[in-house]
Chains A and B, each alone.
Chain A
Amino acid sequence: MGKQRGLLALILALVIGAVIVLAKVPPRLGLDLQGGSQLTVLVKPTEEIPEISERDLEAVTRVLENRVNGLGVAESVVQTTGEDQILVQLPGVSDPAQAEKVLGGTAQLEFRSQKQGTEAAFQAERLARQEIELQALIAEETGDAEAIAQAQESLKSSNEVIANFFDEGSLTGEYLKDAYATTGGAPGGSNWEVGLRFDGKGGELFADLTKGLAGTNRGLGIFLDDALISAPVVDVQFATTGITGGNAVINGNFDSREAANLAIQLRGGSLPLPVEVVETRTVGATLGRDSIQRSLYAGAAGLALVLVFMAIYYRLPGFIADISLIVYTLLTLASFALLGVTLTLPGIAGFILSIGMAVDANVLIFERTREELRAGKSLYRSVESGFYRAFGSILDSNVTTLIACAALFWKGTGFVKGFALTLAVGVLVSMFTAITCSRTLMFTAITIPDFKKKSLFAPGVETIAKS
């Protein structure tokens, strides 16, 4: 009985843990439940770039991130999916038209030279801008929508002011072949730089541009989608010829991350890869709340139906299966919270479905137990062999469900993955609750004399057990 007691304690501890987790960790709701817009952007290959590499995709993603940040949506997510798709999630956005327009175009990278006589004003504006960026960051942290919008507005006007300090440039991203973070050939060095490599025509344009700027304090403005991302100055030594040969480095007080960041932004701007919004899905917040409400009803009704059925049909064992099922529900929901599973509508459906599947193992075991009882075995031996003999079938049936989940998870997109994950977690947790938990409770129950009646296990078998 010591082993039984240990297991009981473990189950109790898990249940308490699960309740604490559920109380502390709020569930992560998908956009279809909390309301918002989800856009899928397809990056299209061109004749020059027939295949989109991981590096290209990362660069385009960074460009889109910049644009999405410009929209001022709290907790927006930009991530790659598959080989050439980027998923953009905008919680709380009910009209994605603006986002679609902003996301659609090819990135515009431009090198422009600073106008004469703007040095002081430019410095002042950059300082002011740092302050605004800080405000924007704070607003983003606190999630205050009004403050975010305000900060975005200030950033936008600051962008315009800064753009006015620069001439229109003729050197655009299409001449830039590559941009990369480097330590300037010093292995293990900490002086990070960003290397630029232009094509032939770009090299000439770049030499012209830098010749005019060398030795002055005016900056070479690098603009991505009309926002300044860097404004290095050109050393006086290039005053006669400009920076020739099509190669250049930008140095500053970069650490490796900053250098890599700038390089990716530059690469993104140099990609002539057209992007297209191929999917938008928008759900209003009210609709999302309705869905949550309906799912709660469906889940509660589903659970109740199963609980009632099990208790009526299987009597005492059914009641024990019901306790296990409630433990299952708590543990599974807590696992979702701990694993950071985002709950979507199909995901919830997967979970409700798994409630029905979770008792399958118990049905197998109890049917087996009844057969053994009818064959005249003692209660203890019947229960024991019910668990023992049903195990093979339980394993097989769960493995086949997991195979289907794996296929869904591997090949599925977005919310389909969510369904596969919730169902798979459910199946795994049910292996524990339906076998270990039910078994422990069952063996504890049959030590209680009042429960030692065969009729409580199988109707029609009335003899009192002796064990």
Chain B
Amino acid sequence: MALSLQISKQRKTWWLVSGVLTLVSIAAMAISLSQFNYPIRPGLDFIGGTRLQLERDCAQADCSAPINPSDVRAILSEQGLGDSSVQVTSTERQKNQGVSIRTANLDVEARTALEGKLSEAIGPFDLESTQNDTVGPVLGERILSSGLIALLIAFAGIVVYLSIRFKLDYAVLALVALFHDVFITVGVFAILGLVLGLEVNSLFIVALLTIVGFSVNDTVVIYDRIREMIKLSPDQPIDNIVDTAVNQTLGRSVNTTLTTTLPLIAIFLFGGITLKNFSLALIIGFLLGAYSSIFIASSLLGWWRSRSESLAPAGMAQELEDSSEVEDEAI
């Protein structure tokens, strides 16, 4: 391998990088918290609301001019929905003939009334191309809390599994790296929410959970190799072992991240608006996952082991003897 990383020597640098990213994330979340009461701009899945996506039926409507958002806003204020957001949308078929409206939670009467007024003024709309979503606040809270519970369960499940397969300290450090990935992904979306007004919905939690399940893979593979090498040459200093293990698995780490990111890029480019943010979250999370496995999880383990080695110089060798599946080569 031409490229050789000196993880253990540079670990302070990488920890600094991650520390800064974490601080920026905390800052972004704090600003979001003061602005939206949530650490990240919440979509209607979590806080409730109504979103109408309408498209003019050009067979019947006059589509010569694009939809004027101020016309739509006028109707909204007439209906007492002045603080709603309005966006004119385009499809492949026609430009600027659609409108996406996000309002507070509307019941069926209010929604029908609004649709009627809009249809009168700028429609008629093509029912087959509309999309509308209404989520009540009660359900929104439920979606959010069940999502967060799922996230905690996944964290716990992975710690338990890794403690069985490895040792508790491996599991805890892998979790630190994992938390780092998820936290900074949330931070990035907090920034996107502040800057671009990007909202997160329940698919974002799905993305976080997928990141949890996948990011730990790279860490596991590196830890697997570290364990194998400790067994083969227990006298080597742990920092050397960590560096060699990272470099030996580097090709795999990079390529796996690449093969999983390629389809995500395809989804990002070709998938609809719903899947765009979803794939973006996954791409960010997976890249962070690869980064944290290579630079953070490994160096943390090296630091932790050398620290406990210097505290208890004897006895380490025995502790590392459980690698039963790494046996001498068959045949």
Contacts and interface: CB of A to CB of B under 8 A. Distances in A.
Contacts, number: 235
B255 A367 contact: yes
B202 interface: yes
Contacts of B134: 279-281
A299 B271 CA distance: 9
Question: Which 9 residue pairs across A and B have the least CB separation, nearest first?
Answer: A404-B213, A302-B263, A356-B260, A397-B217, A278-B136, A411-B150, A302-B266, A301-B266, A298-B270
A408 B203 CA distance: 11
A281 B44 CA distance: 12
Given A294-B271, A400-B220, A285 B150 contact: no
Interface stretch (A1-9, A46-54, A358-366): A358-366
Interface string A402-413: 111111101111
B252 A306 contact: no
Interface of A: 35, 40, 42, 94-95, 97, 100-101, 104, 276-287, 290-291, 294-295, 297-299, 301-303, 305-306, 309-310, 313, 345-346, 349, 352-353, 355-357, 359-360, 363-364, 367, 370-371, 381, 384-385, 388-389, 391-393, 396-397, 399-408, 410-413, 416, 419, 423
Contact of B157 (A371, A388, A407): A407
A305 B263 contact: yes
A286 B128 contact: yes
A402 B154 CA distance: 9
B267 A411 contact: no
Contact of B220 (A35, A346, A393): A393
Given A346-B203, A356-B261, A385 B133 contact: no
A301 B270 contact: yes
A302 B133 contact: no
B73 interface: no
26 contacts: A277-B136, A279-B139, A281-B134, A282-B132, A282-B133, A284-B130, A284-B131, A285-B128, A291-B272, A295-B270, A345-B272, A352-B263, A353-B210, A357-B214, A364-B256, A367-B251, A371-B248, A393-B221, A396-B221, A400-B214, A401-B214, A403-B213, A406-B157, A407-B153, A407-B157, A413-B146
B85 interface: no
B84 interface: no
B309 interface: no
A349 B259 contact: no
Interface residues of B, number: 75
A282 B282 CA distance: 26
Contact of B260 (A297, A357, A408, A412): A357
Contacts of B127: 94-95, 284
Interface string B213-233: 110110011001000000000
Contacts of B269: 298, 301
B329 A353 contact: no
Contacts of A303: 263
B46 interface: no
Contact of B108 (A100, A290, A360): A100
B271 A407 contact: no
A367 B165 contact: no
Contacts of A399: 161
Contacts of A95: 127
B209 interface: yes
Contacts of A349: 267, 271, 275, 278-279
Contacts of A283: 131
B272 A388 contact: no
B37 interface: no
